[in-house]
Amino acid sequence: MCGGGAAGVAAAVGAARAGAKVALVERAPFLGGAATRSSILTYCGFWTQADPPTQIVGGVGGDVLRSLAELNGIMGPIRTASTNVVIALIEPEPVKLALDRICAQTGIDVILHAQVCDAEIDGDRVWRAVVLDHGGRFALDAQAFVDASGEADLAEQAGAATRYADGTHAPQNGTLAMRVGGIAEDADVSRDAWARAVRSAKARGALHLTKENGLVVRLPHSGEILAFLADEAYDARDARSVSAAERRAREQAWAITEAIRHLPGHERAYLIATGPAIGTRESRHVVARERLRGVEVLSGRVGWSTVALGGWPVELHLGPGRPSVWKRIRDDGPYGIPLDTLRSASFVNLFAAGRVIDADGDAFGSARVMGTAFATGHASGVAAALVASGHSAEVAAVRAELLRQHAILALDA
Ligand SMILES: Cc1cc2nc3c(=O)[nH]c(=O)nc-3n(C[C@H](O)[C@H](O)[C@H](O)COP(=O)(O)OP(=O)(O)OC[C@H]3O[C@@H](n4cnc5c(N)ncnc54)[C@H](O)[C@@H]3O)c2cc1C
């Protein structure tokens, strides 16, 4: 497994529970991906948007939710007042611990501080991932692979067909999260109040500011404010481009902190932390046998080949500072994600999970969130385990194993 975010952990645990011997390679010093590396501390996609919401991600994702609850590290599901969507607030340290534990319990060889940097192929199969750590390069040979890197690194290195964003438009913009302390408990920390402060700062000539209206929430335990306002456009494949975007975004975070000090109860606001890494919404996708389409997502279709359920509305971030675009799914229900959208078109033993799955712009606007990444990761891990054990990853076999592992594949299941 390449990448230890929501998708990679679910893939690894799902594969191990299906009987495979699994190695999980993650370049960060901990698991969790965007949640722990970029402070994306709101789990979305685990529930439908209906009233009341229904849980649509079980299996590995469900186990992680339970573990977080035991660690007092999650609050939700709750419905946001400003955007009327169902989320859960999480804390980063419980996420790291919960993911460490579930991987240890399933016997996964977790290799942190290491990056997949090359791959070798034989015909229509990938057979080796080359990994780089401070000791140099070493090889991991396997019968099947899951790319959950967020950037489709493994697929690209193997020479599989990939696509940057949807191939025609720019990818969704990234955002550097910021955590702010020193704000009075009774202060108005709504997104409208912060938007007014940012607009006033822009009017006063403050430089660097892009977005006015983004997520602003108080975290349950620390009481810190988490905000997604420092938008940037960049090419996530290019380290210089990412570095420059992060420099600009840190300037924004300081300027936003300065701006909100003009609000009542915010006079002593200070910047606790940014990122640490900028959050990349979209980069490369693996070209799969099938592309998940926005029309299918919005119609709430759950087809026969469904191996994961999505339920987050289409949420598009179409450029720094531009207001997000929202489209609700029919009846606020779930939609099905077919197995073939996770299966590389180039290699029979390579699967995609999380934000690298094959999806058009609208479909990706929904399927990219972490709850859904747990679900697609679980499905890809199970499919990879079946291939590794010499079976073919037919829809019926993948669904049967997912259901045995308590995944949710339909609301009436
Ligand atoms: C600003 C922002 C706000 C968001 N808001 C929300 C939200 O509120 N709720 C929500 O649910 N989702 C949200 N998302 C979306 C969500 O965070 C991601 O789409 C989700 O994390 C995808 O999970 P993943 O496991 O596919 O990828 P990631 O979480 O990105 O994990 C990929 C992992 O792979 C590792 N990796 C990459 N390349 C390699 C390599 N070559 N070798 C080894 N390891 C590698 C990375 O270090 C990383 O840990 C947001 C995203 C952004 C950027």
- Span 368-402, pLDDT tens digits: 999 999 999 999 999 999 999 998 899 999 999 99
378 ligand 1 Cβ < 6 A? no
Alpha helices in 220-360 (DSSP H): 239-260, 294-299
413, pLDDT greater than 80: no
* Pairing mode, strands 270-274 and 284-286: unpaired
Angle of helix 370-388 versus helix 395-404 axis, rounded to 10: 120
pLDDT above 70: residue 300: yes
Q: State in Å, rounded, how far the first CA of the chain is from the last one.
A: 29
CB of residue 355 inside a 6 A radius of ligand 1:
yes
Contact 413, 336 (CB under 8 A): no
User: What three-state secondary structure class fits 138?
Assistant: strand
Distance CA 282, CA 94 (A): 26
> How confident is the prediction for the chain on average, in pLDDT?
96
Residue 8 CA: which ligand 1 atom is closest?
25
Q: Cβ atoms within 10 A of the Cβ of 406, count? A: 14
Candidate of 9, 25, 27, 87 to mutate for ligand 1, largest count of ligand atoms within 8 Å of Cβ: 27
What domains appear along the chain, each with residue ranges and CATH number? 6-168+282-404 (3.50.50.60), 174-274 (no CATH)
Q: Are 330 and 299 in contact (CB under 8 A)?
A: yes
- Find, among 153, 178, 192, the residue nearest to 232 by Cα: 178
Q: Is 397 exposed, middle or buried (0-12, 13-18, 19+ CB in 10 A)?
A: middle
Phi-psi region of 193 (alpha: psi -120 to 50; beta: other; left: phi over 0): alpha
How does pLDDT run across 218-273, given as a tens digit for each residue? 998 889 999 999 999 999 999 999 999 999 999 999 999 999 999 999 999 999 99
